[in-house]
Amino acid sequence: MDNMICLGAAMGSLVAAAALLTGLALAMPADCNPEAGIRPSSIPALESMSLATMKATDLTNVGMSGPLIPKLGDLKKLQFMELFGNGLNGSIPTTLGKLNNLINLDLQDNLLSGTIPASLGTINTLENIRLNGNNLTGSIPSSLGNLTNLVNLELQKNLLSGSIPASLGNIKTLRSLHLNGNMLAGTVPQQILSLVSDGSLSELK
């Protein structure tokens, strides 16, 4: 069953190809019929497909496992990375910082570990970051304060430590900031509390 993928009828070959070409694997459920699986060789024009123009990956709750590979940073046109609710493990590649068109980064409810890459703070197009429900450690990068278009930052239910960066108060577009369920120390910086008093930051947890 090596390289076998078992997909529901609603998932077309293009989605399967996207998973394969980005190095992600879909787990084989116990009740999956191997004869119904899709092998790489059965996906039309798999080898000739280009990811240069791919704008979205929506592979949520599909039983996907394994690490995120650095090659994901080559998807330069990608705007939406929706991979939540799977069994992804390992660290978040620093190469994601090369995704200069990314709007939504949703990796919540996986098994990701390691630190949050500071390189994410270079993606000025980001509006939503959801990394909650993983096993992420280390501190919250102060570079995230450079994301001047960020609306939602959800980092709750991880193993993050250290203090809350005051730089997050620079994000005037921020509407929700969820940090609960971590091991953060200290108090909420005044810069962030000012966003609450101004009425711009409506959710602070």
Overall domain count for the chain: 2
Q: Which of 196, 134, 143, 133 shows the shortest CA–CA distance to 165?
A: 143
Same domain, 87 and 154: yes
Same domain, 61 and 143: yes
**pLDDT one-digit tens code per residue, 152-199:** 999 999 999 999 999 999 999 999 999 999 999 999 999 999 988 877
Same domain, 175 and 147: yes
**pLDDT one-digit tens code per residue, 71-88:** 888 888 889 998 889 888
Q: What is the β-pairing status of strands 152-154 and 128-130?
A: parallel
pLDDT surpassing 90 at residue 28: no
Residue span of the structural domain in which 76 resides: 51-204
End-to-end CA distance of the chain: 45
What Rg do the C-alpha atoms of the chain give, in angstroms?
18
pLDDT-derived band at 19 (thresholds 50, 70, 90) equals low
What residues form DSSP beta bridges with 88? 66
